């Protein structure tokens, strides 16, 4: 503004307008002219209007420039704002779910803590039972091979017996541990050991025959009869069965079904709580990123707006200053006081679309 209409140019124009004469081109003599503005003139001087119009046009150009820029900036801002709102709502929802799942987890944990856990961990139970099963499998496989059976028959029966004895001992120990037993479970407490001892007796007799057939008794110089060998291996089988039973007994809970149910509920609640906690962490990261993006876009839009608004304010202030300078210098160089200069001329206004930055994203509401 100052470069187009400088202060010197404005005050020189005010002096010329205030004089009642002007220099004639030739010869260089003064000639009379009417003062500008005239004493009785009520409308604003034309130079005032010229300055005002120029300032108004420059501000309008800035407003148009802002509109073009904001056609891209505002949708970008609204997209980031909506994304941030969605992320916050999602975080709030997941946080409530996490709080709810934590309550369920705490209740399940308190319920499980009402039960005293078994003396032996389930993992160790299965490891020890597998060791017993493998030992049974190895011995029985040798027996059936020496018995003269084919490979498939040997493997099927060896695997079957190696699984059967630990499995029967497992159920026997579990049922023996239970405080409350049904009629069928009480019957199984008699059937399982009787059936197992019968199977072990047959296996013991077969093992004795194996040792006799291979001459191991003579080689080891064992002074044992057939019956003594049978009793010996029968005792070995009993030890295997009793050992597996003891393992199962101490790894079982007296209230097995109730304890198992409480433990499953606890594991499910813990899994749900951990899943919800991980989802909350992911949602918090997304919310943090969306908030950071919104801050950057908001700062970018506000910075551009403030820069253009400052330019518009500068043009308004410069226009107002030059118009006052014109009035002051014009009155200084004339004896009268024209009617049109008794009132101040308004400076060009900054339109509301530039003056107030619209941060709303819903049909122009909630302006900030």
pLDDT number for residue 367: 41
220 pLDDT band (50/70/90 cuts)?
very low
pLDDT at 28: 79
Chain segment 31-61, per-residue pLDDT in tens: 889 999 999 998 989 999 999 999 999 999 9
DSSP code of residue 340: G
| Interval 160-213: pLDDT, tens | 767 777 888 888 887 887 877 788 878 888 888 888 778 777 766 665 555 555
The region of weakest confidence among 185-189, 293-297, 338-342 is 185-189
CA distance 343 to 324: 11
The alpha carbons of the chain give a radius of gyration, in whole angstroms, of 52
Mean pLDDT, range 342-354, rounded to an integer: 88
* pLDDT tens column, 113-172: 877 777 778 788 888 888 877 777 776 666 555 444 456 655 666 677 677 778 888 888
Show me where the domains of the chain are located: 7-87+302-355, 118-252
Three-state secondary structure call for residue 21 = strand
> Reduced to 3 states, what is the DSSP secondary structure of residue 239?
helix
| Mean pLDDT of the region 72-97 | 94
Mean pLDDT score across all residues of the chain: 82
Average pLDDT, stretch 303-316?
A: 95
Query: Sign of dihedral through CA atoms 216, 217, 222, 228?
Result: positive
Tell me how far apart the alpha carbons of residues 80 and 291 are, in angstroms, rounded to a whole number: 8
How far apart are alpha carbons 338 and 18 in whole angstroms?
10
Burial string for 222-251 (b: 16+ CB within 10 Å, else e) reads eeeeeeebbebbbebbbebbebbbebbbeb
The reply to whether the predicted model has a pTM over 0.85 is: no
């Amino acid at each position: 503004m100052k470069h187009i209409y400088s202060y010197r140019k404005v005050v020189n124009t005010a002096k010329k307008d205030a004089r009642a004469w002007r220099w004639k081109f030739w010869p260089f003599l003064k000639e009379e002219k009417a003062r500008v503005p005239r004493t009785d003139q009520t409308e604003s001087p034309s130079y005032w209007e010229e300055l005002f119009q120029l300032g108004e046009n420059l501000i309008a150009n800035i407003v148009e420039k802002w509109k073009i820029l904001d056609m891209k900036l505002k949708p970008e801002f609204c997209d980031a704002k909506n994304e941030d709102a969605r992320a916050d709502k999602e975080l709030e929802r997941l946080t409530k779910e996490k709080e709810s799942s934590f309550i369920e987890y705490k209740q399940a944990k308190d319920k499980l803590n009402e039960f005293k856990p078994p003396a032996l961990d389930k993992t160790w139970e299965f490891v020890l039972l597998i060791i017993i099963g493998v030992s049974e499998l190895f011995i029985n496989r040798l027996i059936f091979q020496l018995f003269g059976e084919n490979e498939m028959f040997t493997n099927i029966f060896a695997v079957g017996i190696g699984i059967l004895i630990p499995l029967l001992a497992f159920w026997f120990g579990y049922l023996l541990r239970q405080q409350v037993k049904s009629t069928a479970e009480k019957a199984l407490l008699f059937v399982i050991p009787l059936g197992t001892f019968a199977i072990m007796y047959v296996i013991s007799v077969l093992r004795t025959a194996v040792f006799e057939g291979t001459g191991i008794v003579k080689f080891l110089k064992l002074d044992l009869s057939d019956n003594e060998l049978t009793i010996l291996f029968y005792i070995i089988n009993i030890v295997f069965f009793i050992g597996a039973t003891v393992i199962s007994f101490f790894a079982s809970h007296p209230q097995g079904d109730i304890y198992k149910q409480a433990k499953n509920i606890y594991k499910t609640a813990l899994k749900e709580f951990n899943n919800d906690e991980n989802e909350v962490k992911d949602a918090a990261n997304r919310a943090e990123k969306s908030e950071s993006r919104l801050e950057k876009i908001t700062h970018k839009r506000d910075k551009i707006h403030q820069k253009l608004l400052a330019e518009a304010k500068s043009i308004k202030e410069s226009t107002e200053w030059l118009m006052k300078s014109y009035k002051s210098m014009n009155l200084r160089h004339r004896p009268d006081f024209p009617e049109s200069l008794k009132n101040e001329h308004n400076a060009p206004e900054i339109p509301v679309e530039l003056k107030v930055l619209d941060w709303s994203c819903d049909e122009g509401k909630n302006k900030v």
